[in-house]
């Protein structure tokens, strides 16, 4: 183990990373609060500012994956469609098998310049969570209670509000609704058998109502659907703690077409023009179930061969995530160390113990 790897595994380094993320996140949340005065005056300016403020938070997480952990990304795609990524609004269907798949989704957005404006369909409880939850609130993220009778009207209104969004955005959606586990898979396949639906080996049954409403509300605004499945080489099961410890992973993303993209993290299977997705809710539901059968077949092929049938492309890593983190590190570590030195010079053991307790907590 070299000195860099040793430092990455040290608890004190993890504390400093968390300190920078938490303090900078709360500062940005506070700034976002003041941007509310712009909403009635200039809504589009409010949105553009909050896209950049949100980037300052989410890019710190992506920095951990790209620069701290050094995780490699390879994209398998049709080069003809590669140039469209980041230049159009899109619905991105994600699988939910790993602890860090959300982070890989953000990495995918970052490589194509839409991280700050990316949207998700998230649980209502997350809107109360400081930093990321509050950041999402100002980004007009679509929150739901997972009770469709109560959610439908709210979700539709939130989605319709995005129709005049001034920035290109990707709407990230986990159609399975929850992370894959063997127990959940068994229950899901029992439901499939009861409803007469085809069984899946590597995915849970998709929840079709949210996807159908998303397609309905964003039609003529979103250009395409990117169907994506994340896989990691050597059957690794990466964790956020592993990333924090600087462990390097190899991820694969496959995008099939009409369009193919593969990341070393992910597997995006299709760039599908939105007009090819049925508008009728039942037909859209059937279309999504068929898509998941195809995803299952591609997953089987990946487990068998360890690769995808497309041209590998490695999208260049952009420097902005690292530069943003370095800015906040320089801004926040200086007063922390100055305070610590002053406390040491004071000679009060009680003060030092209290400081250490607060930092660790």
Tell me the average pLDDT of the chain. 87
CATH value at residue 140: 3.40.1130
For the chain, what percent of residues have pLDDT higher than 90? Answer: 48
Report yes or no on 337 lying in a domain. Answer: no
* Nearest to 51, CA basis, from 130, 155, 168, 158: 168
Label residue 311 by pLDDT band (50, 70, 90).
confident
Whether residue 349 is predicted with pLDDT greater than 80 in this model: the reply is no
- pLDDT of 43 reads 96
- pLDDT of 299 reads 86
Whether residue 129 is predicted with pLDDT greater than 50 in this model: the reply is yes
Task: Name 72's bridge partners.
Answer: 250
How many folded domains does the chain comprise? 1
DSSP state, residue 45: H
Which element (helix H / strand E) includes 229?
Answer: none
Report yes or no on 340 lying in a domain. Answer: no
For the chain, what percent of residues have pLDDT higher than 70? Answer: 95
- pLDDT of 269 reads 42
Q: Which two tokens stand for residue 74?
A: 């390879």
Report yes or no on 345 lying in a domain. Answer: no
Label residue 263 by pLDDT band (50, 70, 90).
very low
Report yes or no on 304 lying in a domain. Answer: yes
- pLDDT of 359 reads 72
- pLDDT of 279 reads 82
142 contacts 121 by C-beta, under 8 angstroms: yes
Whether residue 261 is predicted with pLDDT greater than 50 in this model: the reply is no
Q: Which two tokens stand for residue 205?
A: 């049954």
Report yes or no on 358 lying in a domain. Answer: no
Whether residue 193 is predicted with pLDDT greater than 60 in this model: the reply is yes
Report yes or no on 341 lying in a domain. Answer: no
Which element (helix H / strand E) includes 224?
Answer: strand 224-228
Label residue 1 by pLDDT band (50, 70, 90).
low
- pLDDT of 48 reads 97
Whether residue 164 is predicted with pLDDT greater than 50 in this model: the reply is yes
Which element (helix H / strand E) includes 312?
Answer: strand 311-313
pLDDT of 277-295, one tens digit each?
888 889 999 999 998 998 8
Report yes or no on 343 lying in a domain. Answer: no
Q: Which domain holds residue 300?
A: 3-321
Report yes or no on 331 lying in a domain. Answer: no
- pLDDT of 230 reads 84
At 268, give phi and psi (nearest 5°).
-100, 125
pLDDT of 23-46, one tens digit each?
999 999 999 999 999 999 999 999
Strand blocks (E) in 104-179 = 119-123, 142-144, 170-174
Query: DSSP readout, 164-188?
Result: G-SS--EEEEETT-S---HHHHHHH
Task: Work out the average pLDDT over 253-280.
Answer: 58
pLDDT of 57-108, one tens digit each?
999 999 999 999 999 888 877 777 788 889 999 999 888 888 888 898 899 8
């Amino acid at each position: 183990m070299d000195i860099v790897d040793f430092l990455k595994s040290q608890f004190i380094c993890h504390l400093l990373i968390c300190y920078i993320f938490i303090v900078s996140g709360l500062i940005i949340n506070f700034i976002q609060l003041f941007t509310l005065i712009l909403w009635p005056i200039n809504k589009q300016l409010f949105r553009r500012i909050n896209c950049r403020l949100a980037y300052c938070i989410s890019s710190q997480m992506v920095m951990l994956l790209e620069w701290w952990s050094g995780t490699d990304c390879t994209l398998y795609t049709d080069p003809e469609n590669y140039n469209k990524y980041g230049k159009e609004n899109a619905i991105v269907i994600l699988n939910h098998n790993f602890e860090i798949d959300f982070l890989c989704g953000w990495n995918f957005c970052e490589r194509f310049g839409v991280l700050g404006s990316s949207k998700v369909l998230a649980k209502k409880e997350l809107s109360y969570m400081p930093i990321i939850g509050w950041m999402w609130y100002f980004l007009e993220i679509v929150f739901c209670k997972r009770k469709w009778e109560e959610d439908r009207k709210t979700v539709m209104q939130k989605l319709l509000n995005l129709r005049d969004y001034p920035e290109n955005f990707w709407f990230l959606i986990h159609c399975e609704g929850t992370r894959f586990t063997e127990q959940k898979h068994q229950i899901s396949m029992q439901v499939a058998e009861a409803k007469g639906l085809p069984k899946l080996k590597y995915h849970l049954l998709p929840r079709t109502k949210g996807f159908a409403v998303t397609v309905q509300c964003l039609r003529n605004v979103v250009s395409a659907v990117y169907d994506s499945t994340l896989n990691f080489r050597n059957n690794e099961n990466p964790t956020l703690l592993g990333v924090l410890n600087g462990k390097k992973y190899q991820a694969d993303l496959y995008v099939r077409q009409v369009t193919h993209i593969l990341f070393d993290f992910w597997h995006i299977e299709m760039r599908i023009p939105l007009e090819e997705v049925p508008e009728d809710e039942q037909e859209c539901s059937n279309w999504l179930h068929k898509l998941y059968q195809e995803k299952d077949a591609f997953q089987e092929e990946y487990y068998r061969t360890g690769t995808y049938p497309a041209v590998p492309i490695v999208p260049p890593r952009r420097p902005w995530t690292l530069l943003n983190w370095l800015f906040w590190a320089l801004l926040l570590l200086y007063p922390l160390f100055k305070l610590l030195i002053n406390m040491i010079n004071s000679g009060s053991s009680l003060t030092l113990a209290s400081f250490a307790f607060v930092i660790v907590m």
